[in-house]
């Protein structure tokens, strides 16, 4: 059973460009979470999605950031007009459908975004 896959592993963008980060959850997992890790800090929650639905986006910056998890294909975290402060590691995690309780989240290897 393949783990959570993220690509690219490293992404370099110039200020003002767009960044697209992809996440394929583990087989059988229908819930995806995105977290951001700034240097020397813990992970901070950004958004929680199910197929075709955003469940909780309370951690997403109000502008330039968006996320989707279509019926087919990977989840996408999109950052428009990137700035240097967006440089961070972005982690995706997945879990099976929670049946009334929190289930363990399994993390991908992360995408390290560098904005020049």
Partner 1 sequence: AQTVTQSQPEMSVQEAETVTLSCTYDTSESNYYLFWYKQPPSRQMILVIRQEAYKQQNATENRFSVNFQKAAKSFSLKISDSQLGDTAMYFCAFGKRQGAQKLVFGQGTRLTINP
Query: Residue numbers of the site for partner 1 (CB under 8 A)?
Result: 31, 33, 35, 41-45, 48, 55-56, 58-59, 89, 91, 93, 95, 98, 100-102, 104-107, 109-110, 112
- Scanning 19-109, the segments in alpha helix (DSSP H) are none
CB 75 within 8 A of CB 32: yes
- Report the relative pairing of strands 31-37 and 19-24 from DSSP bridges: unpaired
d(C-alpha 97, C-alpha 86), whole Å: 30
Q: Which is nearer to partner 1, 28 or 42 (CB)?
A: 42
Q: Which is nearer to partner 1, 105 or 114 (CB)?
A: 105
Min CB(116)–partner 1 separation in Å: 21
């Amino acid at each position: 059973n393949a783990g959570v896959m993220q690509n690219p592993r490293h992404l370099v963008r110039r200020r003002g460009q767009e960044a697209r980060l992809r996440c394929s959850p583990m087989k059988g997992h229908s819930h995806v979470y995105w977290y951001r890790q700034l240097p020397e800090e813990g992970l901070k929650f950004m958004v929680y999605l199910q197929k075709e639905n955003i469940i909780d986006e309370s951690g997403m910056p109000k502008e330039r950031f968006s996320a989707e998890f279509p019926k087919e294909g990977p989840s996408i975290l999109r950052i428009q007009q990137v700035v240097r402060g967006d440089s961070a590691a972005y982690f995706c995690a997945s879990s099976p459908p929670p049946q009334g309780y929190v289930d363990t989240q399994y993390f991908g290897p992360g995408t390290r975004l560098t904005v020049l």
